[in-house]
Amino acid sequence: MSERVIPLVDHRSRTLVASVPSSAIAPTGLLADSLGRPLRDLRISVTDRCNFRCSYCMPKEVFDKDYPYLPHSALLSFEEITRVARQFVAHGVQKIRLTGGEPLLRKNIEILIEQLAALRTVEGRPLDITLTTNGSLLERKAAALKAAGLQRVTVSLDGLDDTVFRSMNDVDFPVADVLRGIEAAQAAGLGPIKVNMVVKRGTNDHEILPMARHFRGTGVVLRFIEYMDVGATNGWRMDEVMPSAEVVQLIHQQLPLVQLEPSATGETAERWGYADGQGEIGVISSVTQAFCGDCNRARLSTEGKVYLCLFANQGHDLKPLVRGNASDAELASAIAAIWQGRSDRYSQLRASLPPDASTGGRRVEMSYIGG
């Protein structure tokens, strides 16, 4: 058994302070990065805290009772988040996903959802407002989230077997409570619901077929995610990755599948439908089949730092502008300059580069910027 490497340097301290370019960059909705990729998706982390301790994200030996979480004063307020989001939308963002940590731990998150739901795209359409959650608080909050303007939820669920699930979340949380949360979300109209299962070979790969059978025909879209080398604390090893092609083949042998067309440009999941029409599954293959080429996602941390890749090692801090005297036009120009300089494509480079060579140092933790 290999030893887990615990980071000695706080990844949150490595930041470039965002600056206003000398020439203003007015929003047109057509912003592109250095590789021609548009900005369409903004993922906003609203907290760095979570009530689970999944080994692939927030292992208990690192994120213990002494871990220095961000103080509340460091977090962007809901009004500040909405102001930043408005500038991203002006540059072309059409979808906002709230994440964490566990976003439902952020007090009064419904207020933020209401504020974001009032924004409009450059074409004048409502935004696609979604949220990713571990489901632990979903049963009690689903109706209020829907009423506030949330459209859809994605629930992380790594197995149906209660022993396996309790072991993976490492806080002894029962799977039945998450399943009730999914049912509550369906009843509230937060759909179509997606369920994300991180597949770790030798840990929960035997849960693939039970999960597929359980959600088939329910309207829930089950997605299988390859165990990724995100951050520096999860002890990632390639031999624990189960390639998506194996997952698809395993399911196809029991429940025949047919491949479906992508539903949107930049979609991370490859779609497969059940041949009998009883719904679909998705596979996210960021290890074995990179999708950097049309990645259109930016990430905003809970304290106002913009990250341009899930595997980034530093962010661009907008908070000095947000809490300073910068105008909306200046904030929009700063965001545009950040995106225009983007060249990140770690997943495409992973196989050909030594560890951390593509990012220049220890990568940011997924629990800090969301998945």
pLDDT tens digits, residue range 28-60? Answer: 999 999 999 999 999 999 999 999 998 888 889
- 112, 154 Cβ separation under 8 angstroms: no
Counting the structural domains of the chain, the total is: 1
Pick the more confident residue, 367 or 90. Answer: 90
Strands 257-259 and 270-274, sheet pairing: antiparallel
Decide if pLDDT at 3 tops 50.
Answer: no
Query: Is the residue at 4 inside a domain?
Result: no
For residue 350, the SS3 value is helix
Instruction: Give the domain CATH number at 263.
Output: 3.20.20.70
Spatial CA neighbour of 298 closest among 195, 231, 370, 350: 370
pLDDT score, position 238: 77
Query: Is the residue at 135 inside a domain?
Result: yes
Span between the terminal Cα atoms of the chain, in Å: 27
The Cα 369–Cα 115 span in angstroms is 21
Spatial CA neighbour of 84 closest among 336, 312, 309: 336
Dump the DSSP string for 117-166.
Answer: HT-B-TTSPBPEEEEEE-STTHHHHHHHHHHHT--EEEEE---SSHHHHH
Query: Is the residue at 315 inside a domain?
Result: yes
Query: Is the residue at 283 inside a domain?
Result: yes
- 340, 40 Cβ separation under 8 angstroms: no
Give pLDDT tens digits for 299-329: 999 999 999 988 777 899 999 999 999 999 9
Query: Is the residue at 139 inside a domain?
Result: yes
- 53, 64 Cβ separation under 8 angstroms: no
Strand positions, DSSP E, the chain: 15-17, 41-45, 95-99, 128-133, 152-156, 194-199, 221-226, 257-259, 270-274, 280-284, 297-300, 305-307, 315-317
Strands 194-199 and 152-156, sheet pairing: parallel
pLDDT band at 198 (very low <50, low <70, confident <90, very high): very high
Give pLDDT tens digits for 231-268: 454 455 777 889 999 999 999 999 999 999 988 766 78
The Cα 261–Cα 337 span in angstroms is 33
The Cα 216–Cα 201 span in angstroms is 23
The whole-model pTM stands at 0.89
The Cα 270–Cα 233 span in angstroms is 28
For the CA atoms of the chain, what is the radius of gyration? 20
Query: Is the residue at 32 inside a domain?
Result: yes
The Cα 51–Cα 28 span in angstroms is 40
pLDDT score, position 111: 98
The Cα 250–Cα 230 span in angstroms is 26
The string over 242-267, giving b where at least 16 C-beta atoms fall within 10 Å of a residue's C-beta and e elsewhere, is: bbbebbbebbeeebebeeeeeeeebb
Q: The domain containing residue 31 runs over which residues?
A: 11-369
